Amino acid sequence: MRFVHTADWQLGMTRYFLDTDAQARYTDARLDAITRIGTVASHHGAEFVLVCGDVFEDNRLAPAVVARSLDRIADLPVPVYLLPGNHDPLDAASVYTSEHFRRHVPGNVVVLDSAGVHPVRDGVEILAAPWFSKHPSADPLTEALAAAPRPARGVVRIAAGHGGTLSVGHRDQRLIDVAAVGAAIDAGRLRYVALGDRHSVTEVRPGVWYSGAPEVTNFDHIEPDSGSVLLVDTDTVDDSGMVTPEPIPVGTWAFRSREMTLGSSADVERAAAELAALPDKDRTVLKLAFTGTLDLAAKAALDGELDSLRARFAAVEAWPQRTDLAVLPGHDEFAALELTGPAAASADELTGIARGHGADAEDASAALALLYRLAGGGAR
């Protein structure tokens, strides 16, 4: 028996760094990912698609977002099981009980709206653990697993859960009990555990997997393996007897973070060429950090290259936490511009601050670079 394990569609998501045009493309791409998931299911003979939480970005979405999403799901050639997660829980304001959801929900959609066992067909069932609030008192999957009776002999039971398995900082989390889940697999009570919440494909332990998000939602230093779904064949096991799914890419966007060390105009040219060589620029967001020291001419060249990149990529973001780029005038750089009066005095004052190590050195470096460009330095 084969099915597609996916999660964290978060339909209706917006990204603050995208302008109106790029956000529209990103929104369409997230809907197109649904269509590609249907193609995967059809091509590989999957019986159903299981979405393990956070189908929607929020319970408070515009009716058009819900309607367009359901229209895409309606085109999928197989049943689609939707598990409410922490973004779209089954609370009093749930999108799943809203009038516009009920009006547009297609016949191939099954909302896993109760904790416990849901039959798929003879011999196959889903143990569902939906979220009923954003802050449950305990992990829904751990509770559902403890309450479920043992499956009948020969029945393939798939668990569908959502949530964390590792504590992250000081977040108030209700963590899935991995030991209990693993014991249920080892005892034959579960064949496979499908999880959502982590946006990268992740094996928690044999037989327990996060599918990741089908379209990227964060930069690759945070979300390194996003943009796929998992094809699960419950009849195919590894050497340990565990089901091992196959990741299949469906995403088309990329959020790439890059750290680059610069020390000369030649370094700037090489960095710009490397970034310009990246594919699919209209679907790629860059987060850039630069370290090193540049003279004013090289910094002016860098600013010009960044302006060019912003016109070509979906977005270009600075990465302040990783940036440590000093800008200091080279020998006679301002002298060649023949500044006089207040401009010359400002250049001298800023140079002195920039060469120091105080809190204002970075701001002074940026001001020097801007003054240099405004005075005509680095003009092509």
What mean pLDDT value characterizes the chain? 91
Query: Which residues, including other chains, have CB under 8 Å from residue 339's CB and lie 6 or more apart?
Result: 347, 375
Q: What is the pLDDT of residue 342?
A: 78
Buried b (16+ CB within 10 A) or exposed e, 143-156: bbbeebeebeeeeb
- 3 state SS of 348: helix
Q: What is the pLDDT of residue 238?
A: 79
User: pLDDT-based confidence at 304, cuts 50/70/90?
Assistant: very high
The CATH code of the domain at 2-249 is 3.60.21.10
83: enclosing H helix or E strand: strand 80-83
Q: What is the pLDDT of residue 170?
A: 47
Query: Which residues, including other chains, have CB under 8 Å from residue 60's CB and lie 6 or more apart?
Result: 93
Domain ranges of the chain: 2-249, 254-374
The pLDDT tens digits for 236-279 are: 887 778 999 999 999 999 999 999 999 999 999 999 999 999 99
Query: How many whole angstroms separate alpha carbon 128 and alpha carbon 158?
Result: 8
**Pairing state of beta strands 246-249 and 228-233?**
antiparallel
Angle made by CA atoms 17, 321, 271, in degrees to the nearest 5:
75
The pLDDT tens digits for 320-333 are: 999 988 887 765 65
pTM over 0.75: yes
User: pLDDT-based confidence at 362, cuts 50/70/90?
Assistant: confident
pLDDT at 345 over 90: no
Q: What is the pLDDT of residue 139?
A: 93
Name which of 60, 63, 57, 59 is nearest 27 in CA terms: 57
User: pLDDT-based confidence at 339, cuts 50/70/90?
Assistant: low
pLDDT at 359 over 80: no
The pLDDT tens digits for 86-111 are: 999 999 999 999 999 999 999 999 99
Q: Are 198 and 222 in contact (CB under 8 A)?
A: no
Weakest-pLDDT range from 49-63, 254-268, 345-359: 345-359
Structure tokens at 331: 């020998």
Mean pLDDT calculated for residue range 335-361: 69
Q: Are 10 and 57 in contact (CB under 8 A)?
A: yes
- 3 state SS of 221: coil
User: pLDDT-based confidence at 367, cuts 50/70/90?
Assistant: confident
Q: What is the pLDDT of residue 309?
A: 97
Structure tokens at 127: 């143990």
Is the pLDDT higher at 340 or at 305? 305
Q: What is the pLDDT of residue 296?
A: 83
Weakest-pLDDT range from 25-29, 314-318, 340-344: 340-344
Query: How many whole angstroms separate alpha carbon 17 and alpha carbon 310?
Result: 12
Q: What is the pLDDT of residue 380?
A: 46
What is the CA 146 to chain-centroid distance, rounded?
32
Crossing angle of the two packed helices 361-374 and 296-312, in degrees rounded to 10: 80
The pLDDT tens digits for 199-243 are: 999 999 999 999 999 999 999 999 999 999 999 999 988 777 899
CA quadruple 366, 368, 370, 375: dihedral, nearest 10: -170
51: enclosing H helix or E strand: strand 49-52
